[in-house]
Structure 1
Amino acid sequence: MSDAPDDLPRQPGRTASGARKASAKSARSRAREFALQALYQFLVGGNDAGSVDQFTRGLAGFHKADSAHYDALLHGCIEDAAALDALVAPLLDRKLQEISPVEHAVMWIGAWEFQHAADVPWRVVINECIELAKEFGGTDGHKYVNAVLNGLAPKLRATEVEADRAAGKARS
């Protein structure tokens, strides 16, 4: 007998609550999770990139992550922090310092991937960031991340977003 309510079909790779099962996560999704944890330490603790990286690589499950993508995200976001903040800040309804460090780091990941991971479709970037915010952020933080990244996508991935809109795969 299933734990899922009878009227709600369970999606493959998801728990009864709708969360992704750990085993269903790709190596890149895991890389994003570890990068988020490291960026959180960077933002909150003020730890240097090397210390944060070393600590994060020692966490359980790191071996299942795409370490090259993790490296690119962690070091790319830290190196580009000011530029990423400059991209995100105009889309916020409050000061950047008032944003949760989790949502702040997730927005960095999304903005960085828009710019530097062209192999990841823009809608996948947004979805992955929403999942990160749901799993690690505040109650409605994912909605905020979604709004900001949806505002940023047309600026950083204009051709791709326009093609999806023309094909009816994205909102206008």
Structure 2
Amino acid sequence: MSTHSKKVRPKQGRTYARRFAMQAFYQWQLVHTDVASLRSQFADNEDFHLADNEYFFEILNGVFKDTQYLDDIISPFLDRPIDQLDAVEHGILWVGTFELMHKIDIPYRVIINEAVEIAKRFGAEGGHKFINGILDKIAKNHRLDIILEPSDNPATPLS
């Protein structure tokens, strides 16, 4: 381990938290590791200090608590049954959908962009386009900050 400590910006810490959360959900889907073991395993990871630990645990606990709810939100926008999703895609969609539904303080574009970047890094070739499309539809149907957003149409009067 390096003796130099690397300072991590808060937003970068959330990026790492999202990556670790997706990896935890990937592992959970493949080998059904229990939540306590996942928490411990990821907390012991040598790079975990780069992550916003509180945010990682918030995502982890929130998704595990609401897995069926999140799947119910995701499913209508899929082109296949949810159980046919690749484990990486499913993990990314859980993280992104959890954030879209529960982290209203984070702009939806940031959430979608972070998910797309994770998909580019860990997903199948072109998978980031699929992730972008699904999360964009979820955001447009469930986020009030988009639903109530003024139209870009100049003919639409602003009141």
Corresponding residue for residue 25 of structure 2: 39
Task: Identify which of 132, 135, 142 aligns with 2:121.
Answer: 135
TM-score computed with the length of structure 1 as normaliser = 0.79
Residue 80 of structure 1 deviates from its aligned partner by 0.5
Instruction: Report how many aligned residue pairs link the two structures.
Output: 145
Structure 1 distance, partners of 2:87, 2:49, is 25
Corresponding residue for residue 114 of structure 1: 100
Q: Does 1:154 align with 2:120?
A: no
Cα 1:162–1:156, aligned 2, differ >3 Å: closer, same or farther? closer
Q: Is the 8 A contact 1:37 1:56 kept in 2?
A: no
Residue 59 of structure 1 deviates from its aligned partner by 1.3
Unpaired segments of 5 or more residues in structure 2? Answer: 1-7, 154-159
Corresponding residue for residue 11 of structure 1: none
Residue 156 of structure 1 deviates from its aligned partner by 1.8
1:1-172 alignment runs, 5 A limit: 26-158=12-144, 160-164=145-149, 166=151
Q: Is the 8 A contact 2:92 2:119 kept in 1?
A: yes
Give the SS at the match of 1:26: helix
For 1:90, the aligned partner's letter is P
TM-score computed with the length of structure 2 as normaliser = 0.85
Residue 119 of structure 1 deviates from its aligned partner by 1.4
Cα distance per residue 1:113-142 (max 9 Å; x no partner) = 011111110010100000111111110111
Give the SS at the match of 2:94: helix
Give the SS at the match of 2:55: helix
Cα 1:58–1:149, aligned 2, differ >3 Å: closer, same or farther? same
RMSD (CA atoms): 1.7
Q: Is the 8 A contact 1:29 1:65 kept in 2?
A: yes
Residue 60 of structure 1 deviates from its aligned partner by 2.1
Identical positions, percent: 35
Unpaired segments of 5 or more residues in structure 1? Answer: 1-22
Q: Which has the higher contact order (CA 8 A, sep 6+)?
A: 2
Structure 2 distance, partners of 1:165, 1:135, is 34
Cα distance per residue 1:10-60 (max 9 Å; x no partner) = xxxxxxxxxxxxx78701001101111111111111111111111111112
Q: Is the 8 A contact 2:141 2:147 kept in 1?
A: no
Structure 2 distance, partners of 1:76, 1:156, is 17
